[in-house]
Every structure is written in structure tokens, then in C-alpha cells.
Amino acid sequence: MTVFYSAMKYAVQVNAGPCSGNAGLSAYRFILAALEAGHDVVRVFFYKDGVYHAFRYASPPEDEIQLGRLWSELALDRGVDLAVCISAAQRRGLLCADEARRQGKQDDDLAAGFRIAGLGQWLEAALLADRCLVFA
């Protein structure tokens, strides 16, 4: 028997940080389930305190979930686009190597698999998607 279903394209936004709620973990699990079910995730846009997911040097205790590492793996192994809002990131002290150099600093705070983007990229993802989800 052939099973017919139509794959959906999801745009995901994460607005809460990893230390202040479960929104990030819920988003991660949703994305994983969507991919397993054959759907597409156009982009994950990290906004507001959600940018805290993208800090390279976040080091939770060993016996806690390593959500940052899981996000990186999602990008590197599954090709999910992880975009971090530049203005929200700079406000919170998260500088990618380019921006740090521009400001005369030596940081490179962005974890592997994430990239810096503007709000236009959030909107573009919404326009490309069938559904838009915000985890706040």
C-alpha cells in the first residue's frame, strides 16, 4: 500500500533561552520529529533570549542535557539552517568572529553550525514556509 502525505515546510522561531524555560528543548524535539516524519524545516531563527542557545562556550554540568551541542549536530549532520538575529545577539554580547573584529575585539562566540542573520531572514523563512511556529 502506498501512503500519500504531503511534506510540510516549517519556519521555526525560538525566543527563549536554554536556562529560562523549556521552549528551546520543545523546539528542538519538534524539529527532530518533523524531520523524522519527512517534513522540511526551512530555518530556525533564534531571537530575543533565544540567541543564548548559540553561545559557543556555554558549559552546562556534564549530567545535564547538552542542548547547544544538539543544536550544532542538527545543523552539521542534518543541514538545518540555524540563524541567529544579529541585533539580539550583539545586545547580549554574542559576537561572531567578523563582528568582533569590526569592533576591535577578539571574540568568536558563535557555536558551530549557527550563523548570524538579520530579521529579514526571519521574514523570508516565514514566506517560504507552510507553517510558522514560535517557541517562546
Partner 1 sequence: MKSFLFVMRRPPHSGVRLSETLDALLTAAAFDQRVAVLWLDDGVLQLLARQQPESLALKDTSAIFKALELYEVTELCVERESLQERGLTPEDLILPVRLVGRSEINALIAGFFAVVPD
Catalytic site positions: 85
- Quick check: 48 binds partner 1 (CB under 8 A)? yes
Beta carbons of 75 and 57 less than 8 angstroms apart: no
CB-nearer residue toward partner 1: 86 or 111:
86
CB-nearer residue toward partner 1: 31 or 113:
31
CA 65 to CA 68: how far, in whole Å?
9
Beta carbons of 54 and 84 less than 8 angstroms apart: yes
- Quick check: 123 binds partner 1 (CB under 8 A)? yes
The strands making up 131-135's β-sheet, listed across from edge to edge, are 114-117, 82-85, 40-46, 9-14, 131-135
Among 14, 15, 83, 96, contact with partner 1 (rule: CB under 8 A): 15
**Contact set with partner 1 (CB under 8 A):** 13, 15, 47-48, 87-88, 91, 119-120, 122-123, 126-127, 132, 134, 136
